[in-house]
Every structure is written in structure tokens, then in C-alpha cells.
Amino acid sequence: MANRQGITRAFLWLAVLAGGPLLGAKLFDLVVLAGAWSAHPPASLALMPYGKAWPVDTGVFFIPLPASMLLAGFGALVAGWRTPWHFRWLLCLPSIGILLLLILTVVAFWPMNAALYYHGIGSPKDSITDAESVAMARRWVTLDWIRVLGAIAAFVAPLRALTLPWPLEVACEDPPLVRALLALALLGVAGFVVWFVQNL
């Protein structure tokens, strides 16, 4: 029990240490960078932080932090799985939350980033009109607030778990079907991570 507690708390600390900078950077990205490039599309799209004018791609900057949080979140969840639900839900939130935010990034933001960037530089790959770029930039900012709220929850949950006393009671062992479904879910997460890294 003490060993699981130590491992769980170590993963929670990793989630907090990665989550703080991630949240701060995400707010800066939304308020400052996206605030600039989404101000008056299509002209302002030239300020998107991609291409040769920017020495660091924001996507490359953000990759290590959510990856660390994903690892830490699922590490804490696996190590602390036998804790009762009144504590375990705090372990579920960062792991599942970051996973959902990464999926949202792939499904919604990657296509919008490409479309807006190509439109802003007048690329032959441009596929949207000026009016569509205005609507898409607004949609991007609205959806990004969801990512910020998710980052807040993924940061606060492990922080809260660290401030609570470790529960003394142990949850009942899951039936074989539940354990099999959990193993499949973890394999699915691992598969998504591999696919995500290969498509960067």
C-alpha cells in the first residue's frame, strides 16, 4: 500500500509540475498569439506562429507538456486504481482529460491550423474563402477556451489529490471483464500516442 501511495503521489507531482507551465503557456498562446492572428482575418493570419518567420513552432513547444501529463495522469490512475472512487475520480480527470484534449487537437485544431495558415500565406493549398477564414478563426478561439478549461481541470485535480490524505480503505478488486476492458483502454491510449507521435 505504501509503495502504491508513493508511486501515485510521484506521478501526481509530475502532473502538477507539467500542468502549471502548460496552463500558463496555453493562456499566453490564446490571449496573446491567437489574439493577434485572429484579430482581423484574413490580414491578421500572417501573424500565425508558423513558417520561417518563427524559430519555434508552437506545436513543437506544446508537445512535451501534454505528453508528460498524459504519462503522469495514467501512471497515477494505474498506481492508484484500488483507491475508493471519492479519491480515484481525481486520478481519472487529468489522464482522461488530457487524452480528450489531445484528440480534440488532432480532430479540430490540426485541420483548422492548416487551413488558416495556408489562407494567410496565399498557398496553392488554400481551400477557404475570406469569410470562411473569419468564421474559422472565431471557432478556433472558442474551442481553444475549452482546451484552457480542460488544462485547468487537469492541473487542479492532481493538485487537489496531493492535498488530500491518502485513503486508508481499498476498493474491491475489479471483475475480470472490467480488468480486460481497462487493459484494452490502455492499449488504445498507447496506440493513439504512437499514432500521434508518428503524425507530428
The domain spans of the chain are 2-168
Quote the pLDDT of residue 199: 67
> DSSP assignment of 74-108, as one string?
HHHHHHTTTS-HHHHHHHHHHHHHHHHHHHHIIII
What gap in Å lies between CA 94 and CA 153, rounded to an integer? 7
In tens digits, the chain (200 residues) has pLDDT values of 568 899 999 999 999 999 999 999 999 999 999 999 999 999 999 899 888 878 877 877 788 888 888 889 989 998 998 899 889 899 988 888 888 888 899 899 999 999 999 999 999 999 999 999 999 999 999 999 999 999 999 999 999 999 999 998 877 777 888 778 877 877 877 777 777 766 66
Q: Which residue, among 186, 15, 27, 197, has the nearest Cα to 106 in the 3D structure?
A: 197
Tell me the whole-structure pTM to 2 decimals. 0.83
Quote the pLDDT of residue 163: 95
What gap in Å lies between CA 17 and CA 72, rounded to an integer? 10
- Report how far apart, in Å, the C-alpha atoms of 33 and of each of 43, 44, 92 are: 15, 11, 31
Quote the pLDDT of residue 133: 95
CA torsion sign for 70, 73, 74, 76 is positive
Quote the pLDDT of residue 195: 74
Residues sharing a CB contact under 8 Å with residue 169, sequence separation 6 or more, in sequence order: 84
What gap in Å lies between CA 77 and CA 64, rounded to an integer? 20
How remote is the C-alpha of 34 from its chain's centroid? 17
What gap in Å lies between CA 65 and CA 131, rounded to an integer? 34
Cβ neighbour number for residue 80 with a 10 Å cutoff: 24
- Read off the DSSP letter of residue 171: P
Grid coordinates of 116: 488558416
Q: For residue 54, report the phi and psi dihedrals to the nearest 5 degrees.
A: -115, 120
The SS3 call for residue 37 is: helix
Contact call for residues 16 and 158 (beta carbons, < 8 A): yes
Say which amino acid occupies 112. M
Quote the pLDDT of residue 200: 62
